[in-house]
Amino acid sequence: MFKLPSIIIALLLSFNAIATKSPHGTNFSIKCDVCHNPEGWTFKTKTNSFDHSITSFPLAGQHKAIECKKCHADLVFSSAKTTCISCHKDMHQQTVGQDCARCHTPRSWVVTNIVEVHRQSRFPLNGQHAQVDCYQCHKSASLLRFDPMGTECADCHTATFTATTNPSHVASKFPKDCFLCHNEKGWQPAKFNHNTNTAFPLTGGHVGVNCSSCHAAGYAGTATDCASCHLKNYNATTAPSHVAAKFAKECTTCHTTASWLSATFNHNTSTAFPLTGGHIGVSCISCHSKGYAGTSTDCVSCHLATYNSTKDPAHAAAKFPTDCKTCHTSAGWVPSSFNHNTSTAFPLTGRHVGVTCISCHSKGYTGTSALCESCHLTNYNATTNPGHAAAKFPTDCKICHTSAAWAPSTFNHNTSTTFPLTGSHIGVSCISCHSKGYVGTLASCASCHLTDYNATTNPAHVAAKFSTDCKTCHTSTAWKPSTFNHTTGTTFPIVGAHIGVSCISCHSKGYVGISTDCYSCHTAKYNATTNPAHAAAKFPTTCLTCHTQNGWTPSTFNHDAQFFPINSGKHNGKWTLCSECHTSPTNYAVFSCLLCHEHAKATMDSKHSGRSGYVYNSTNCLSCHPRGIAD
């Protein structure tokens, strides 16, 4: 029988592999003769040259000796799982997770360094813990189960804690956080530093005190206030008697931990109320009769009787404020003084000087109004030249008057208001603009000139929907001549074909909030254009992209500068019709790179391996190659 040469058979096999769909999956691109014999499809068990390291699962250790079928259950090799659990039974029964590589290697299941493995857990083995047999802590280890355990000292060492007698941890109510005194190197020597491990350093007489004397109720939440230990000392002290004097129970106010004796207290530095003048030498109990906490520093809290009995002047009758330091000092009650100009926000000037206090402070000295009308409303109502009430003048007298005298009075509309009187506004009677009063008077033109606006017919302001802001075209000098410059008066200069267009054609809905977008006026032209059909092709409605205000034609569009370079670079001369890239004739937003750049997806996937955001589609091609350059 005639036998073809081996090289011919190999070539036929290669051609056949190209023409025939691979049974190993669509993405399998390895040449057939790497694994198969030229004489047939039999597998080269010993001589195949397939390198498994080019896959996402390089073979190492015992994986090299395993038959392929152990992992590849079918001919589609890409369907094989790469997770340990897909081939290996979870002997630990879901107690340590399914990532076998945390403890094992392909070379052997035996764990050679348990300390390093444990370091990846939430309880690294240090010190004596590194020498302990696994079974001492993991009671289920014989079943290959490593159930989660507690990591607190007491989880393993409660028995040791209970059995310790020197000192007795239980009797002393020590906390079960062993790390406070012990470390992993060994239980001995044990030590505890009260100064660094607590917020209460031991100093002076506290050094050497037996722990249980302060921690009789345990070590959690032990109070640090002096009275929690020294209340008996406080109650028993008689020189001076702390209880009778209602001293504060915060011993550190006067004492130190060095000694109870030689106690001191400086009222000036230890409180917000320094003792000066007549306050020096006063017995503590005279001010602190109700204790030392929350003692008021208001003068009246001690001196109310003195305030009520004072006759020259009679403080209570004159309704003087009870803040004594307004007029007095701690040096003595007399001499007393009060300066209205420096002590209040209302300096006394002009006719206000010498007025009796009670005339303005008839209702007291707190919250006294500084408004003119609070004292002078009667004068306001009685004035007839001009009649203030009839003219609805404001009641803020200082607008026209001074404290020197009521007359002469002055008012300057230009400097006293935000509406200077110019042009024809000069000489107009106040009441003509202020018929409703002087507060909140509108400065808008329409508030006075709406009748003129409605009656104007050349041009008809109402019909043309002109703005009611008269100063847009008029001045206060006169209504005529009137002017309006669209270029300087708006953000839309009138140029090109827009010059001479009637106002109403763009302002059919008025003059406020008019869109400057081309499409708002030229929608009909956009929809009616057929060469090319703007609406059908879904061209953008930003007309200025291709057109100018001089005319719709000629129109311009620069594809290279605005979107993608098709007339320069590698794309120059590579196309004839727009449809070669824009596959949808009704939508130019749809395009395809793959019609010209038709690559095998597997090859492209391989070339872009590791490229963040890579997806095999035209949109992603453009996002990475916006100028059509390969790299």
**Predicted local distance difference test score (pLDDT) of residue 466:** 84
- Position 551 in a domain: no
Q: How far apart are CA 498 and CA 543, in angstroms?
A: 14
pLDDT in tens, 140-159: 777 888 877 888 888 888 88
3-state class percentages of the chain: helix first, strand second, coil last, to nearest 5: 35, 5, 65
**Predicted local distance difference test score (pLDDT) of residue 13:** 52
- Position 91 in a domain: no
Averaged pLDDT, 130-149? 81
pLDDT at 501 exceeding the cut of 90:
no
- Position 340 in a domain: yes
**Predicted local distance difference test score (pLDDT) of residue 1:** 42
Pick from 195-199, 525-529, 589-593 the range whose average pLDDT is largest: 525-529
Select from 414, 433, 452 the last residue of a domain.
433
Rg (CA), the chain: 49
**Predicted local distance difference test score (pLDDT) of residue 2:** 46
pLDDT in tens, 294-338: 889 999 999 999 999 988 888 888 888 888 888 898 888 888 888
Give me 32's structure tokens: 């057939």
pLDDT at 408 exceeding the cut of 60:
yes
Give me 360's structure tokens: 């303005």
pLDDT in tens, 79-117: 888 888 888 888 888 888 788 877 888 888 878 778 778
Give 163's DSSP letter: H
pLDDT at 566 exceeding the cut of 80:
yes
pLDDT: which is higher, 213 or 364: 213
How many structural domains comprise the chain? 3
**Predicted local distance difference test score (pLDDT) of residue 20:** 56
My answer on whether omega of the bond before 626 falls inside 30° of 0, hence cis, is no
Q: How far apart are the first and last CA of the chain?
A: 57
- Position 475 in a domain: no
pLDDT: which is higher, 487 or 44: 487
**Predicted local distance difference test score (pLDDT) of residue 488:** 82
Nearby residues of 420 by Cβ (< 8 Å), 6 or more positions away: 413, 414
State the pLDDT confidence band at 504, using cuts at 50, 70 and 90. confident
**Predicted local distance difference test score (pLDDT) of residue 109:** 81
**Predicted local distance difference test score (pLDDT) of residue 19:** 46
Averaged pLDDT, 443-453? 91
Give me 429's structure tokens: 């009677």
Helix (H) or strand (E) holding 358: helix 357-360
Predicted structure pTM score: 0.32
- Position 30 in a domain: yes
pLDDT at 7 exceeding the cut of 70:
no
In the chain, the percentage of residues whose pLDDT exceeds 70 is 96
- What integer best gives the mean pLDDT of the chain? 83
Amino acid letter, 115 = V
**Predicted local distance difference test score (pLDDT) of residue 527:** 92
Averaged pLDDT, 203-228? 85
My answer on whether omega of the bond before 240 falls inside 30° of 0, hence cis, is yes
Domain that holds residue 65: 6-82
pLDDT in tens, 244-285: 878 888 888 888 888 887 788 888 888 889 999 989 888 888
Averaged pLDDT, 353-362? 84
- Position 391 in a domain: yes
pLDDT at 224 exceeding the cut of 80:
yes
- Position 290 in a domain: no
- Position 255 in a domain: no
pLDDT at 17 exceeding the cut of 50:
no
Select from 82, 100, 122 the last residue of a domain.
82
**Predicted local distance difference test score (pLDDT) of residue 382:** 92
102, 49 Cβ separation under 8 angstroms: no
Select from 433, 456, 475 the last residue of a domain.
433
pLDDT at 436 exceeding the cut of 60:
yes
**Predicted local distance difference test score (pLDDT) of residue 420:** 92
